[in-house]
Amino acid sequence: MRDIVVLIFLTACIIAATKKPWWGVLSLAVFSYLNPHAYAWGFVRSLPAYYVLFLVLAVSTFATDDKQPIPKDWRIPVFISLWIYFIFTTALAPLQEIAWAKFIFICKIFAPFYFTWVLINTREKLYYLISTIGASIGIVAVKGGVFAIITAFGYRVYGPPNTQFEDNNLFAVAMLMAIPLLLVLEKELTKKWLKTGIMLTIPVIYAASLSSWSRGALLTMIALTFMLISDSKRKHLMIPVIIAGAFILIPAMPEEWFGRMHTLETYEEDLSAMSRIEAWVDGWNYALSHPFTGAGFDGWIHVTMRDWHSSYIEMLAEHGFIAFGLWISLLVGSVFSLTGLKRKAKRIDGMEWVIHYSSMVRASIICYMIGTAFLGLSYWDLIYHLIFISVLIKQFAAKEFSEREELRSEQFPSKAKPINVQAFKQK
Asked if residue 146 is part of any domain, the answer here is: yes
Q: Residue 241 domain-assigned? A: yes
Instruction: For residues 311 and 25, give the distance between their C-alpha atoms in angstroms, rounded to a whole number.
Output: 26
Does 37 fall in a domain? no
pLDDT tens for each residue of 119-132: 999 999 999 999 99
Q: Examine the domain organization and report whether 331 and 246 are in the same domain.
A: no
Q: Do 241 and 314 sit in the same domain of this protein?
A: no
For residue 31, tell me if it sits in a domain. Answer: no
Same domain, 186 and 173: yes
267: confidence class by pLDDT, cuts 50, 70, 90: very low
**56 in a structural domain:** no
Give, as one character, the DSSP assignment of residue 306: S
249 and 299 both lie in a single domain: no
Domain boundary among 265, 297, 326: 265
The answer to whether residues 260 and 375 belong to one domain is no
Tens digit of each residue's pLDDT (9 = 90 or more) over 182-211: 999 998 888 999 999 998 899 889 888 888
Residue range(s) defining the domain that contains residue 373: 71-97+269-427
| Same domain flag for 255 and 304 | no
Burial status of residue 260 (CB atoms within 10 A of its CB: 0-12, 13-18, 19 or more):
middle
Could you tell me if 277 and 420 lie in one domain? yes
**Domain stop point among 243, 265, 287:** 265
Is residue 55 assigned to a domain? no
274/214 same-domain check: no
Same structural domain, 245 and 286: no
User: What is the average per-residue pLDDT within 375-401?
Assistant: 92
How many structural domains are present in the chain?
2
Q: C-alpha angle 28/33/34, rounded to 5°?
A: 95
Tell me how far apart the alpha carbons of residues 341 and 132 are, in angstroms, rounded to a whole number.
Answer: 23
pLDDT for the residue numbered 212: 78
Question: In this predicted model, which residue has the larger pLDDT, 260 or 394?
Answer: 394
Annotate 15-77 with three-state secondary structure.
HHHHHCHHHHHHHHHHHHHCCHHHHCCCHHHHCCHHHHHHHHHHHHHHHCCCCCCCCCCCHHH
Integer Cα distance of 166 and 295 in angstroms: 25
> Is 107 inside any structural domain?
no
Residue 376 is predicted with a pLDDT of 85
Task: Specify whether 276 is located in the same domain as 425.
Answer: yes
pLDDT at residue 256 is higher than 70: no
Q: Measured between alpha carbons, how far is 281 from 289 in angstroms, rounded to an integer?
A: 12
- Residues 427, 344 contacting (CB under 8 angstroms): yes
Question: How many percent of the chain have pLDDT more than 90?
Answer: 52
**What's the mean per-residue pLDDT of the chain?**
85
The whole model's pTM is what?
0.89
Domain final residue pick, 206, 236, 265: 265
Q: What is the mean pLDDT of residues 286-298?
A: 95
381 and 393 assigned to the same domain: yes
Q: In this structure, are 160 and 215 located in the same domain?
A: yes
Question: Do the domain assignments include residue 193?
Answer: yes
